[in-house]
Structure 1
Amino acid sequence: MSYSTQRITALDYARAWAIFGMIIVNYKLAMQAENDGATWLRTIAGLFEGRASALFVILAGIGVSLMTAKARNSKNKDLIRQSRNSLYRRSAFLFISGILLLLAGWSADILHYYAVFMLAASVLITVSDKMILGLFAAILLVSQMFLVVFDYSEGWDPGFHEYTGFWTLAGFCRNLIFNGFHPIFPWVCFFLIGMWIGRKQWLDRGKRKKVLLCSLLGTIVFESFSYFLIKWTSPVLDNEAANYLFTTKPMPPTMIYVLSGTCLAVAILAISFYVVDYFGNSLLTRAVINTGQLSLSHYIGHVIIGLGFLEIAGYLENGSLSFAISYGCGYFIIAIIFSYVWIKWMERGPVELIMRKFC
């Protein structure tokens, strides 16, 4: 397997596990099972919160960098224009798909945010690596400042399940930019760091071990930093304010959360490369790779099909955490089997085929 081929399949492998994590988190959210179940079960479910979707967005940034590499390296104006037009169309497709999911009642959609990230990428195709890192740092700082200056809870009910005024212009923009499930500030940082990683050869065999160790260490450092900052500042700020400013939970998305989430995502990427490198020919690994290739179809499917079935059965808001996790695992196993069979007959997933036709 060539490095370029392995690189793509490893990304698909990681993308599949990002989808799995998002399924677990979203089913837990949809069934309102956040505070149900044993402590160990809540801890396991909590590990996916904000991490799976962060990995998903970072992978999107990497994908855009790989897709536009020829245009960026050649500096050919026609190729750059073609790449930008393709990103414009993909952005429009994803935005419309996200809005349809929102209209269907799925308030935690990521696709309409994802569409804005794609739009940003179209502008940044030719900028330097330093510029991307500079934007990453600046947006991260501004996002942390927003948490101090503005009211993060505006629009939300006390349980952060319902958003009042979402379909008004002010509410939609506030949710999109500042206090939605995946707001531009700071979630575009994940996309930017993905674009930056996509330009590097970080994960080849010679550097992979170092990247894995450094990213795991970074995760530990930032999680520890968060813990001690909350502990030390609680007597001054009170515990609620300290958690608000220094948590590594995705809501509110603090600077430390983004840095910790980025490190963990890079570690998972490195592990994915190891798995594909050593076990790439196994049936299970190939099936998981196939699942990642159909990630957009599975994202939409787990909402429309997975949650739709529960709603018809009248069990959507009555599930326990153990049921939510079990149901999510079951759905993912079915998704793996479906993907393996589908790829034997078709090159792309159902939704991917539609997007490809227009983009």
Structure 2
Amino acid sequence: MSGRRTSPAPAPVRVRGPRLSGVDAARGIALLGMMATHILPLSQALPGGGAGPTWTALLFSGRASALFAVLAGVGLALLTGGARPYPPEHLRRSRRGIAVRALLVAAIGLAAGSLDAGVAVILVHYGVLFLLALPFLGLPVRRLAWWAGGWLLLSPVALFLLLPLARAWVDPSDVGGSPAFTDLANPATVLADLFVTGYYPVVAWLGFLLVGLAVGRSNLSRPPVALALLAGGTAVAAAARWASAELVALPGADAALRAATGLRAGPLEAALATGRGLDGAQGSWWWFALASPHTGSPLDLIHTAGTALAVLGGCLLVAAALEATLGQLGEALLWPLAGAGAATLTLYVGHLVALDLLSGLTAELPRLAVYLGFVVAALLAGIVLKWSGVRGPLEAAVHAASRAAAGGSIRERT
């Protein structure tokens, strides 16, 4: 019989703490913003002729989905310890749980891709981004910040070089931005859509997740951190937009962009605001001057990452102020938005199903009325979920599966 003592296996980490209501509120804004871009028009006819961007395009186009992705990174950081990352053994188990979470989210996305909702579904890309983020979970905040900044600046160069190769290899229209289970019969097309040609090219969008990971490794409960996010994000977003405006105003830029896109001056201005109709610009070096939504250019990624940080910082400050001044009443005032934000997977998929099933009933209704109906439904669902203290159905299923895979080491403060 050996005299050596054996150490018991480490107990699963079971961290139970209050949710950061400011993070959930920011998720709620991202959800409502994405609903707006799915339901409301992004361009409108101008009185003097031509087309211009709507308020939906100016507020949410490109920004809502980027906020969604940045907050995904924040969520991964909080799932793995937040400002105090898990030790290596617990982090390994958390990675297993996150990998299962990623696969389930991607599977839900493939199912949603078969819906006739007229929407570029982000969930499969989201799942792939989760998997690609796994190697970065153990990095300290400074290294994460360097990786995030470098990715936002350099990944567009890779995207610029890969786009013509991918389009020569496959026909992106075969997927149309929303991969479904039936598309898996053409894996090359699906991979091209996910990584390069789709609305949310993973090659570039991993930068958003890395930004969120770096932010989530900070102490988000401290008001100075929230204020830095608000001020810094606003400054970065404004600087990127200013730089783009200056570059596009240079001699030759307008003519080159019109030649690349085939658009006249008026439609080009609308396209620069909405991001639609700019596919041709991706073959021109002037593409690097753009900050238009979903172009994937450096200034687009920097601008939308900045707006995401500003929204998150603002939500954290508002939540802290409400809870500090009004206590439980202040927290309750955030229930509609934060409750919806805590159930974004369920509500995102739910609104896709509703867009598919109710398309005939809502076709004759004003788009704004339809959107407001979805907003009211989401906020009421948020109140019910907060009041009852339960997760959304899809969140509960994904959480249970990922927690089982991780051996109970999934953090509950997300």
TM-score (norm 1): 0.84
Q: Give distance in 1, aligned partners of 2:209 and 2:150.
A: 14
Q: For residues 233 and 138 of structure 1, do their structure 2 counterparts lie closer, same or farther at Cα, with a shift above 3 Å needed?
A: farther
Q: Give distance in 1, aligned partners of 2:207 and 2:239.
A: 19
Q: For residues 37 and 17 of structure 1, do their structure 2 counterparts lie closer, same or farther at Cα, with a shift above 3 Å needed?
A: farther
Indicate if the aligned counterparts of 1:113 and 1:176 stay in contact, CA closer than 8 A.
Answer: yes
Alpha-carbon shift at residue 291 of structure 1 (Å) = 1.2
Question: Which residue in the other structure is 2:239 paired with?
Answer: 221
Alpha-carbon shift at residue 16 of structure 1 (Å) = 0.5
Question: Which residue in the other structure is 2:212 paired with?
Answer: 194
User: In the alignment, which of 95, 98, 101 is matched to residue 87 of structure 1?
Assistant: 98
Q: For residues 202 and 288 of structure 1, do their structure 2 counterparts lie closer, same or farther at Cα, with a shift above 3 Å needed?
A: closer
Q: For residues 250 and 7 of structure 1, do their structure 2 counterparts lie closer, same or farther at Cα, with a shift above 3 Å needed?
A: same
User: In the alignment, which of 292, 300, 317 is matched to residue 341 of structure 2?
Assistant: 292
Aligned-pair identity (%): 22
Question: Which residue in the other structure is 1:97 paired with?
Answer: 108
Q: How many residues align?
A: 342
Indicate if the aligned counterparts of 1:203 and 1:270 stay in contact, CA closer than 8 A.
Answer: no
Q: For residues 72 and 200 of structure 1, do their structure 2 counterparts lie closer, same or farther at Cα, with a shift above 3 Å needed?
A: closer
Indicate if the aligned counterparts of 2:33 and 2:60 stay in contact, CA closer than 8 A.
Answer: yes
Q: For residues 96 and 71 of structure 1, do their structure 2 counterparts lie closer, same or farther at Cα, with a shift above 3 Å needed?
A: farther
Q: Which has the higher helix share?
A: 1
Q: For residues 47 and 99 of structure 1, do their structure 2 counterparts lie closer, same or farther at Cα, with a shift above 3 Å needed?
A: same
User: In the alignment, which of 307, 326, 345 is matched to residue 369 of structure 2?
Assistant: 326
Alpha-carbon shift at residue 5 of structure 1 (Å) = 6.5
Q: For residues 156 and 325 of structure 1, do their structure 2 counterparts lie closer, same or farther at Cα, with a shift above 3 Å needed?
A: farther
User: In the alignment, which of 310, 317, 321 is matched to residue 358 of structure 2?
Assistant: 310
Is 1:246 the counterpart of 2:289 in the alignment?
yes
Alpha-carbon shift at residue 132 of structure 1 (Å) = 2.4
Alpha-carbon shift at residue 36 of structure 1 (Å) = 3.6
Amino acid of the structure 1 residue aligned with 2:93: Q
Indicate if the aligned counterparts of 1:71 and 1:80 stay in contact, CA closer than 8 A.
Answer: no
What SS is found at the alignment partner of 1:249? coil
Is 1:267 the counterpart of 2:310 in the alignment?
yes
Indicate if the aligned counterparts of 2:28 and 2:344 stay in contact, CA closer than 8 A.
Answer: yes
Question: Which residue in the other structure is 1:353 paired with?
Answer: 396
Alpha-carbon shift at residue 218 of structure 1 (Å) = 1.7
Q: Give distance in 2, aligned partners of 1:148 and 1:348.
A: 41
Alpha-carbon shift at residue 41 of structure 1 (Å) = 6.6
Question: Which residue in the other structure is 1:125 paired with?
Answer: 137
User: In the alignment, which of 300, 304, 307 is matched to residue 257 of structure 1?
Assistant: 300
Indicate if the aligned counterparts of 2:121 and 2:177 stay in contact, CA closer than 8 A.
Answer: no
Aligned-CA RMSD value: 3.0
Alpha-carbon shift at residue 123 of structure 1 (Å) = 2.1
Question: Which residue in the other structure is 1:35 paired with?
Answer: 43
Question: Which residue in the other structure is 2:281 paired with?
Answer: none
What SS is found at the alignment partner of 1:108? coil
Q: Give distance in 2, aligned partners of 1:109 and 1:127.
A: 30
Indicate if the aligned counterparts of 1:147 and 1:245 stay in contact, CA closer than 8 A.
Answer: no
Q: For residues 16 and 70 of structure 1, do their structure 2 counterparts lie closer, same or farther at Cα, with a shift above 3 Å needed?
A: closer
Alpha-carbon shift at residue 74 of structure 1 (Å) = 4.7
Question: Which residue in the other structure is 1:116 paired with?
Answer: 128
Deviates more, 1:39-48 or 1:343-352: 39-48
User: In the alignment, which of 6, 16, 23 is matched to residue 35 of structure 2?
Assistant: 23
Encode CA deviations 1:312-356: one digit per residue, 9 max, x unaligned.
4272xx77xxx3343222211121112212332351112112212
Which 4+ residue blocks in structure 1 deviate beyond 6 angstroms? 4-7, 160-163
Question: Which residue in the other structure is 1:340 paired with?
Answer: 383
Amino acid of the structure 2 residue aligned with 1:58: V
What SS is found at the alignment partner of 2:20? helix
Long gaps (5+) in structure 2: 1-15, 259-283, 324-328, 403-414
Q: Give distance in 2, aligned partners of 1:45 and 1:327.
A: 17
Q: Give distance in 2, aligned partners of 1:76 and 1:162.
A: 36
Amino acid of the structure 2 residue aligned with 1:295: T
Q: For residues 89 and 72 of structure 1, do their structure 2 counterparts lie closer, same or farther at Cα, with a shift above 3 Å needed?
A: farther
Alpha-carbon shift at residue 290 of structure 1 (Å) = 1.1
Q: Give distance in 1, aligned partners of 2:141 and 2:244.
A: 28
Amino acid of the structure 2 residue aligned with 1:301: G
Q: For residues 269 and 338 of structure 1, do their structure 2 counterparts lie closer, same or farther at Cα, with a shift above 3 Å needed?
A: same
Q: Give distance in 2, aligned partners of 1:40 and 1:82.
A: 50
Amino acid of the structure 1 residue aligned with 2:103: A
Encode CA deviations 1:250-306: one digit per residue, 9 max, x unaligned.
33211111111111111111110122122342444222111111111111011012x
What SS is found at the alignment partner of 1:200? coil
Q: Give distance in 2, aligned partners of 1:254 and 1:66.
A: 29
Q: For residues 209 and 125 of structure 1, do their structure 2 counterparts lie closer, same or farther at Cα, with a shift above 3 Å needed?
A: closer
User: In the alignment, which of 188, 198, 202 is matched to residue 180 of structure 1?
Assistant: 198
Indicate if the aligned counterparts of 2:109 and 2:122 stay in contact, CA closer than 8 A.
Answer: yes
Amino acid of the structure 2 residue aligned with 1:63: G
Deviates more, 1:106-115 or 1:180-189: 106-115
Q: Give distance in 1, aligned partners of 2:178 and 2:76.
A: 33
Question: Which residue in the other structure is 1:301 paired with?
Answer: 350
Alpha-carbon shift at residue 249 of structure 1 (Å) = 2.1
Alpha-carbon shift at residue 148 of structure 1 (Å) = 3.4
Alpha-carbon shift at residue 137 of structure 1 (Å) = 3.8
Indicate if the aligned counterparts of 2:101 and 2:398 stay in contact, CA closer than 8 A.
Answer: yes
